Amino acid sequence: MKTILYLIRHGSTLLNEGNRFRGKSDVPLSEQGREQAKVVHSLLKNKKIEKIITSPRPRAIETAQILAEGHINSEGNVIQPEIANGLDSVYYGAWEGKTQEEVAALEPEQFDLFKNHISQLEMGGEHLSDLASRCIKELVKVCEENKGKELIAGNGKFQVLVMNFLPNILDLVGKETKAW
């Protein structure tokens, strides 16, 4: 039986909608974010989801809870999202809560790295390659431990990194992937 891994970004927050850096800020979903999660739920409602793991951020947990509604695993249990600290967001430090325009004015060189050379940027002491490694390790572990269908509720930054590293990951674990 092959494992199917769905990478789902959390719904929108007021910080997203204001084009602000979120990182480890504990912001909940906005009403728009809840509606987005419900749309994704409707797309996945007929899938046989076995397990949902999520970042510990409230916006990701709330998204995962909406996605879990009505899903029963193969053991007959209602699926409860599980926290996976390896999927946590990067810490943006002083950038958290600020708009991109504010950061560009305060730290133009660092902001240029963020926009054009993100792999060279360190945020809050965590280099983005460390973030990618942490997230990838968590995803590989979950895939190896579970048969059936997986649903990952994470956040945008880790998804960008995972997709950048995905060809190498698939070579390492010998898996195939499909995106839709």
| Beta strand pairing call for 126-127 and 122-123 | antiparallel
127 is in an annotated binding site: no
Under DSSP, the state recorded for 20 is B
Q: Are strands 4-9 and 126-127 parallel, antiparallel or unpaired?
A: unpaired
Rounded CA separation 131/37 (Å): 25
Phi, psi (5° rounding) for residue 9? -80, 145
9 annotated ligand-binding residue: yes
The answer to whether the Cα torsion of 158, 163, 167, 170 is positive or negative is: positive
Has 13 been labeled as part of a binding site? yes
Interatomic CA distance for residues 81 and 11, integer angstroms:
16
59 annotated as belonging to a binding site for a ligand: yes
- How large is the greatest C-alpha to C-alpha distance in the chain, in angstroms? 54
15 has binding-site annotation: yes
User: Per the annotation, where are the binding residues?
Assistant: 9-16, 59
User: Per the annotation, where are the binding residues for substrate?
Assistant: 9-16, 59
